[in-house]
Structure 1
Amino acid sequence: MVPFALAGDAAFAIALLITWLAGAPHEWVMICLAGLLWGIPGTLTMVVHDRERKRRRALTHPEFRVTG
């Protein structure tokens, strides 16, 4: 799920840049900024969760190997 979260953060960052440079109404710029700012802690939470899930899986299933 982390790649999807990163893609969402990137989409909000691009949308923020476009709306800001295009001189869009203030509300649209703030919506893009809010999406980006809410997405960052969500992405970090998902990264930590995935890391812990892989660690737990390796402890309970020694034959399990994480590639990549």
Structure 2
Amino acid sequence: MVGTKPRPEPLDPPMVPFALAGAAAFAVALLVTWLAGAPDHWVEISLAGLIWGIPGTLTMVIHDRNRKRRRALTHGEFKITG
């Protein structure tokens, strides 16, 4: 008997850890390039990445906060607690 498999649902992982990891990576890069005396534009690029990581992280906090609501709309059996 041949049948079709149900289509897997897309992942909806929490995004805040990814945003924090990216901002932390730019913070480490900033520290390393600054202490190593790297060219100024490398330090500036690292600083820009860290600065852009702050609003990106805040955006992902809001995105994750709305995950429960989105999940409840698409999955009837999902219950919001708290």
Query: What range is the shorter-chain TM-score in?
Result: 0.7 to 0.9
TM-score using structure 1 length: 0.79
Query: Which of the residues 20, 28, 48 maps onto 1:14?
Result: 28
Q: Which residue of 2 aligns with 1:38?
A: 52
User: Which entry has the higher C-alpha Rg, 1 or 2?
Assistant: 2
Establish whether residue 64 from structure 1 lines up as the match of residue 79 from structure 2.
yes
Runs (5+) with no aligned partner, structure 1 = none
Establish whether residue 24 from structure 1 lines up as the match of residue 18 from structure 2.
no
Q: Greater helix percent: which structure?
A: 1
Report the Cα offset of residue 55 of structure 1: 4.2
Counterpart of 1:64, as a letter, is K
Percent identical pairs in the alignment equals: 74
For the Cα contact (< 8 Å) 2:71–2:78, is it kept in 1?
Answer: no
Establish whether residue 47 from structure 1 lines up as the match of residue 67 from structure 2.
no
User: How many residue pairs end up in the alignment?
Assistant: 65
> How much is the aligned-residue C-alpha RMSD, in angstroms?
2.0
